[in-house]
């Protein structure tokens, strides 16, 4: 290989067996190297782990993860004025928030240490350095939504990637060791090509290390994915002719066959939590169900009218009144007992539903911010990729009593999300549906799946 090329080795070690990985780095260096740099990703030396004993043959870098940092490393770092702190021969710690490292070949690396803040992003902007290799803990959110690992995403990383358009972006994503993904390369209008690789942790069944060589020349790529950072803003399409194929006669489901009707002998009554005079509350079984370590159940629940009704549009009617009462009681109960969890209610209210229902899912408060991004992403995907579905346009309200919101609910089929921030404060997103046009009935539930399994 030529002088202008650098070999790079990237690992996501298990901090319990760090020495084993460093020995492996040494043997790789002896066999395939020398590597210009070895980068250790993730939580390499969290606060409860000792320094490694292995002597390294070549330059190796690591950063702070999301589970603290070894106290000896921290002490050395606090005495150092440099962003790079030598912990041992050839083992260098990147002090938070980041360091930009230029290799002999001219290749430049940006290693982010810890969680990237908006302030650090602004400082990186000012350096105007051309970055070839980017290393972060978290993923950009756009990729996290595409790959359905939304808990891995952090919005500041999106801005960073858009800004520096690196040739390679390495990440780990999840607190519990990392997740392996390699997406197809994508291209920027100015010609740069970015590859994104997230590594699982050593010891998992997935790929946990990556070795490659990089030059400062433009490389050739056979196939690209559409650049996810440049998704077009939705174009307003004039529909009309699209409607024809859409209308299919729905099969009629009678109460004795209806999954939500209490008169159906097959209804699983043991899941019911509370029965009122107009509606009942039940714990959901199904795809949204997941273990939640902070609750005795999955947390996914459904409020269902007792009557076999397709839709509930009358706000003043007894059914909606009782549904609302259930919602308020739930919000109160969570605020009191699990204040770190917030509820998202969602419903698809359609004249041709089988049996109306309002679902809810508790979400950890710090994850709530991701909801609007998730909604935007699902809406764009629905509107651009799935041409058969009707286009969705959401309107936002902050007050349930808004007369415009009331008017939409009264006259239309709709998809509605209500995010309860507190007992007094909520955010409402509603999209009118055109009767007779197909709609993705999974849209509300898939949009609401935004969180990780436990508190971080
Ligand atoms: Zn029913």
222 Cα–ligand 1 center, Å: 53
Domain at 5-230: CATH code: 3.60.21.10
261 Cα–ligand 1 center, Å: 4
pLDDT tens string 330-381 = 999 999 999 999 999 999 999 988 899 999 999 988 888 889 999 999 999 9
430 Cα–ligand 1 center, Å: 24
351 Cα–ligand 1 center, Å: 14
182 and 196 in contact (C-beta within 8 Å)? yes
pLDDT tens string 41-69 = 999 999 989 999 999 999 999 999 999 99
138 Cα–ligand 1 center, Å: 44
Q: What is the pLDDT of residue 127?
A: 85
pLDDT tens string 128-158 = 889 999 999 999 999 998 888 888 999 999 9
305 Cα–ligand 1 center, Å: 8
345 Cα–ligand 1 center, Å: 20
272 Cα–ligand 1 center, Å: 15
**pLDDT above 50: residue 428:** yes
Q: Measured in whole angstroms, how far is the alpha carbon of residue 350 from the centre of its chain?
A: 29
310 Cα–ligand 1 center, Å: 8
Query: Structural domain boundaries of the chain?
Result: 5-230, 241-448
pLDDT band of 297, cuts 50, 70, 90: low
442 Cα–ligand 1 center, Å: 19
Per-residue CA distances from 88 to 16, 52, 56, 85, 165 (Å): 19, 9, 9, 9, 32
Instruction: Report helix, strand or coil for 149.
Output: coil
448 Cα–ligand 1 center, Å: 24
Q: What is the pLDDT of residue 214?
A: 85
pLDDT band of 82, cuts 50, 70, 90: very high
355 Cα–ligand 1 center, Å: 5
pLDDT tens string 385-421 = 887 889 999 999 999 999 999 999 999 999 999 999 9
Q: Which overall architecture, per CATH, does domain 241-448 show?
A: 2-Layer Sandwich (3.30)
pLDDT tens string 197-239 = 999 999 888 889 888 888 766 566 667 888 999 875 433 333 3
Q: Give the DSSP per-residue string, 25-59.
A: HHHHHHHH---SEEEE-SSSS-TT-PPP-PPPSS-
Rounded Cα gap, residues 257 and 285, in angstroms:
18
Return the ∠ at Cα 174 (arms to 169 and 180), rounded to 5°.
55
Hey, do 5-230 and 241-448 end up sharing a CATH topology, with the first three levels equal? no
Q: What is the pLDDT of residue 456?
A: 33
**pLDDT above 80: residue 5:** no
256 Cα–ligand 1 center, Å: 8
334 Cα–ligand 1 center, Å: 28
Beta strands in 256-319 (DSSP E): 272-275, 279-283, 301-305
């Amino acid at each position: 290989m030529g002088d202008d090329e650098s070999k790079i080795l990237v690992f996501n070690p298990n901090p319990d067996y760090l020495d084993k990985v460093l020995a492996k780095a040494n043997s790789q260096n002896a066999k395939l190297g020398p590597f210009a740099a070895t980068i250790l990703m993730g939580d390499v030396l969290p606060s409860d782990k000792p320094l490694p004993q292995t002597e390294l043959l070549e330059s190796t870098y690591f950063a702070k993860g999301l589970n603290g940092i070894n106290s000896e490393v921290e002490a050395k770092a606090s005495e150092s004025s440099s962003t790079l702190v030598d912990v041992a021969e050839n083992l260098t710690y990147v002090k938070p928030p980041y360091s930009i490292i230029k290799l002999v070949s001219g290749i430049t690396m940006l290693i982010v240490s810890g969680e990237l803040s908006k302030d650090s992003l602004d400082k990186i902007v000012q350096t105007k350095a051309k970055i070839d290799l980017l290393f972060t803990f978290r993923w950009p959110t756009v990729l996290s939504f595409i790959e359905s690992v939304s808990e891995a995403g952090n919005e500041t990383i999106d801005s960073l990637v858009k800004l520096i358009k690196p040739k390679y972006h390495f990440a780990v994503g999840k607190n519990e060791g990392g997740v392996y993904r390699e997406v197809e390369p994508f291209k920027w209008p100015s010609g740069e090509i970015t590859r994104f690789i997230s590594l699982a942790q050593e010891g998992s069944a997935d790929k946990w290390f990556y070795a490659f060589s990089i030059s400062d020349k433009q490389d050739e790529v056979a196939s690209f994915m559409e650049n996810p950072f440049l998704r077009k803003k939705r174009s307003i399409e004039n529909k009309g002719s699209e409607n024809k194929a859409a209308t299919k006669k729905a099969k009629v489901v009678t109460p004795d066959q209806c999954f939500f009707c209490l008169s159906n002998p097959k209804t699983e009554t043991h899941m019911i939590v509370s029965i009122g005079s107009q509606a009942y509350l039940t714990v959901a079984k199904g795809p949204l169900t997941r273990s939640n370590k902070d609750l005795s159940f999955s947390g996914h629940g459904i409020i269902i009218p007792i009557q076999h009704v397709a839709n509930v549009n009358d706000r003043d009617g007894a059914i909606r009144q009782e549904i609302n009462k259930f919602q308020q009681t739930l919000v109160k109960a969570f605020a009191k007992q699990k204040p770190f969890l917030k509820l998202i209610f969602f419903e698809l209210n359609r004249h041709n539903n089988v049996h109306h229902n309002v679902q809810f899912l508790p979400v950890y408060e710090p994850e709530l911010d991701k909801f609007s991004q998730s909604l935007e992403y699902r809406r764009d995907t629905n509107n651009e990729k799935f041409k058969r579905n009707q286009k969705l346009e959401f309107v936002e309200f902050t007050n349930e009593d808004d007369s415009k919101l009331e008017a939409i609910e009264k006259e239309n089929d709709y998809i509605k999300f209500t995010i309860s921030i507190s007992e007094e404060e909520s955010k409402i997103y509603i999209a009118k549906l055109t009767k007779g046009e197909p709609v993705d009935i999974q849209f509300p539930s898939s949009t609401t799946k935004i969180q990780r399994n436990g508190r971080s």
